[in-house]
Chain A
Amino acid sequence: MKKKSEALALQRNKETNRVAFLFLIPVAVLLILYIFYPIIDAFRISTLKWNGISPNTTFIGLDNWIKLIHDPHFWSAFKNNIIVMILSICVQIPLGLAMATFVEYAGKKSKLFKIVWFIPMLMSSVAIGFLFQYALATNGGIISSVSSLFGGGNIDLLGNPDTALFTVIGVIAWQFTPFYMVYCVAAYTNISTDLYEAAQLDGVNKRTYFAHIALPLLAPSLKSAAILSMVGSLKYFDLIYVMTGGGPGTSTELMSTYMYKMSFAKFNMGYGSTIASGMFLVITIISLLTMRLLNGKGEEK
């Protein structure tokens, strides 16, 4: 009897491994070709002095890495990335959750809201950059006009190094919050409807239901959303490149825009690849650590 169940378990184990292997093959092939190979190549190039196009390269060992560690531009870009990350997580996810919750509670009438709210996500960065450039203009822009109406005078948002980064972060939030809304709407559908009905029968009001039943059930999804937002912000590129190009001066430079300019405009592929590899390491470490931290907490509960 005991032997039989052991054999069965073994067989099941075998099946598990075989199926797992089978199901993971396509991902493995694609990741090796399109991600492992490029990143390993980037690490290789980071040991070279190379302008990116010449057939001649010089091996310089860790010189680029030493330079990176002492490069104030890289660290100020890193700091900007951290600001983008913190604000993105703190703004986009709560807003997305609020919108999803509204859609969830308001029922069918809210369908229109969901569609319209999603529109920013569908606009290309070129259009967003252009329209906000005008909307945020110091003279005649929307923000300035509102501020002048209340006697505040014109405000230079994008041209001022103290405000430019925060302004672009606002625009980024405008574009990406809808994604977290859709994400949270999907997470809501995972919660069994029986729970809501049971809670209603018990006379639990909506607020209590949200705080004590829905939110804990949404927590794992929200954690994943935080990781997504974190990784996304740490390698963010698009709107910064379109709207400020890293300026004024270098006040909105991010790691990715710095890396891009170094590799493709300043003909320093060796150092550009070092920045990229550095980014890769930093982001991986931060995100894996955060995941461990978040999951650890979850298990304690």
Chain B
Amino acid sequence: MNPEYRLSRIKSIISWVIAWFLAIFALFVALLPFFFMVLNSFKDKFEMLTKGVFEFPDKFYVENYTEVLTGNFWHYFLNSVIVLGVSLVLLLAISAFASYPLSRFNFRLGKPIYAIIVACMSIPVHVTLIPIFKMTQNMGIYDSIWALIGPNVALGIPISVFILTSFMKEIPREIEESAEIDGCGKIGMFFRIIMPMAKPGLSTLAIYNGVNMWNEFIFAYSLTQSSANRTLPLAIWEYQGQYTMNTPMIMAVLVLTALPMIILFIFASDRLVKGMTAGAVKG
């Protein structure tokens, strides 16, 4: 065998071994806190305090889960799902609309508008609290889950447009030009060419914004007041008091809150993989 080839082969094997080793290490680092979150959700409150967070429970204390699941959990869950579904669809559609002219057109206002949208990313969230509260009151949707959709969508726009524009810019010109020759208009182009090509970007956005909206807390508590209109992140209130908190119960709520997102991510990342063609599979 060619020695040079052998050397490179050995090198390649060594680097793969190192890469796998590091990858598995990272796997533990990413998983351990989640594991302990699950573990502590099966402890009794006093047991957690006496034995510490990192020990196994004596017996798996399922009562935390039964109590959470027989409470208001499903109601909050439904609210969260509705808010997430509506906000996410609106956000993705609106951001895609805006990113299309910003990335593919050559028009005079393009650059200044893009700069303004980027500037909008810099807004500190807490500044918007009082104005949005006032607006929500005036629109008459205060204390309803619909109040949460506006801020969810609007505050997601700057980052989403920013990401999507950069993804859409990468789509090769030639595809567009050939479609243009076939007599495809600007609007047709958007739906037939750009949207399908932007799928990886859209799924990244869906994941990122989906997680943010699912865990969104600030607007959920300032724009609603009755427990009928609460979303999941507010569910932990029921176990968090002035001087104490029932940590295992909170962990149970948080595990149950994270699970749907994990399932959704598995599904969404599958779509991401489908966008990825032969190259990855062969590698």
- State the CA gap A116–B262 with chains docked (Å): 9
Q: Are A19 and B187 in contact (CB under 8 A)?
A: yes
Partner of A228 from the list B29, B162, B258, B280 (CB cut-off 8 Å) is B162
Against B, the Cβ 8 Å flags (1 = close, 0 = not) of A115-132 are 111111111111110111
* Known contacts A34-B150, A124-B257; is-contact A284 B33 (Cβ 8 Å): no
Contact stretch, chosen from A66-74, A186-194, A244-252? A186-194
A216 within 8 A of B: no
Partner of A126 from the list B186, B250, B266 (CB cut-off 8 Å) is B250
* Known contacts A30-B94, A119-B31, A126-B254; is-contact A15 B119 (Cβ 8 Å): no
**A175-221 contacts to B (CB < 8 Å):** 178-179, 182-183, 185-191, 193, 196-197, 205-207, 220-221
* Known contacts A114-B269, A122-B265, A220-B166; is-contact A35 B126 (Cβ 8 Å): no
- State the CA gap A142–B250 with chains docked (Å): 22
B243 within 8 A of A: no
- State the CA gap A57–B40 with chains docked (Å): 49
Contact stretch, chosen from A85-93, A146-154, A155-163, A231-239? A231-239
- State the CA gap A196–B153 with chains docked (Å): 38
Q: Are A24 and B113 in contact (CB under 8 A)?
A: yes
Q: Are A287 and B124 in contact (CB under 8 A)?
A: no
* Interface class of chain B by DSSP: helix
A61 within 8 A of B: no
A59 within 8 A of B: no
Q: Which residues of B contact A185 (CB under 8 A)?
A: 200, 272, 276
Partner of A287 from the list B110, B118, B204, B215 (CB cut-off 8 Å) is B118
A64 within 8 A of B: no
B246 within 8 A of A: no
Shortest CB-to-CB span from B195 to chain A, Å, is 12
- A128 (CB) vs chain B CBs: closest residue: B33
Q: Are B127 and A205 in contact (CB under 8 A)?
A: no
**A253-279 contacts to B (CB < 8 Å):** 255-256, 259-260, 263-264, 273, 276, 279
Q: Which residues of A contact B110 (CB under 8 A)?
A: 20
Shortest CB-to-CB span from A89 to chain B, Å, is 15
- State the CA gap A140–B281 with chains docked (Å): 45
A42 within 8 A of B: yes
- B154 (CB) vs chain A CBs: closest residue: A34
Q: Are A190 and B33 in contact (CB under 8 A)?
A: no
* Known contacts A31-B157, A102-B19; is-contact A256 B124 (Cβ 8 Å): yes
Q: Are A123 and B127 in contact (CB under 8 A)?
A: no
Q: Are A284 and B162 in contact (CB under 8 A)?
A: no
Q: Are A19 and B120 in contact (CB under 8 A)?
A: no
**B216-272 contacts to A (CB < 8 Å):** 233, 236, 247, 250-251, 254, 257-258, 261-262, 265-266, 269, 272
- B265 (CB) vs chain A CBs: closest residue: A118
Of residues B122, B155, B167, which shows the largest number of chain A Cβ atoms within 10 Å of its Cβ? B122
Shortest CB-to-CB span from B34 to chain A, Å, is 5
B26 within 8 A of A: yes
* Known contacts A37-B131, A140-B52, A220-B169; is-contact A16 B12 (Cβ 8 Å): no
Number of A residues near B (Cβ < 8 Å) is 94
Q: Are A127 and B254 in contact (CB under 8 A)?
A: yes
Against A, the Cβ 8 Å flags (1 = close, 0 = not) of B129-150 are 0111001000000000000001
Q: Which residues of B contact A75 (CB under 8 A)?
A: none
Shortest CB-to-CB span from B232 to chain A, Å, is 9
Q: Are A234 and B122 in contact (CB under 8 A)?
A: yes
* Known contacts A34-B128, A220-B170; is-contact A279 B279 (Cβ 8 Å): no
Q: Are B266 and A115 in contact (CB under 8 A)?
A: yes
Q: Are B258 and A123 in contact (CB under 8 A)?
A: yes
Shortest CB-to-CB span from B120 to chain A, Å, is 5
B65 within 8 A of A: no
* Known contacts A115-B262, A287-B118; is-contact A26 B94 (Cβ 8 Å): yes
Q: Are B279 and A193 in contact (CB under 8 A)?
A: yes
Give me the 7 closest cross-chain CB pairs, A-B, nearest first. Answer: A34-B154, A283-B122, A20-B101, A193-B279, A186-B200, A27-B98, A38-B128
Interface on A for B, CB 8 Å cutoff? 15-17, 19-20, 23-24, 26-27, 30-31, 33-35, 37-39, 41-42, 99, 102, 104-108, 110-111, 113-128, 130-132, 134-135, 140, 142, 174, 178-179, 182-183, 185-191, 193, 196-197, 205-207, 220-221, 223-224, 227-228, 231, 234-235, 237, 255-256, 259-260, 263-264, 273, 276, 279-280, 283-284, 287-288, 291
A-B contact pairs, 20 of them (CB 8 A): A15-B185, A16-B107, A23-B97, A23-B98, A27-B98, A37-B135, A41-B130, A99-B26, A111-B273, A113-B23, A119-B258, A121-B211, A122-B261, A124-B257, A127-B250, A178-B30, A196-B283, A220-B166, A284-B122, A288-B118
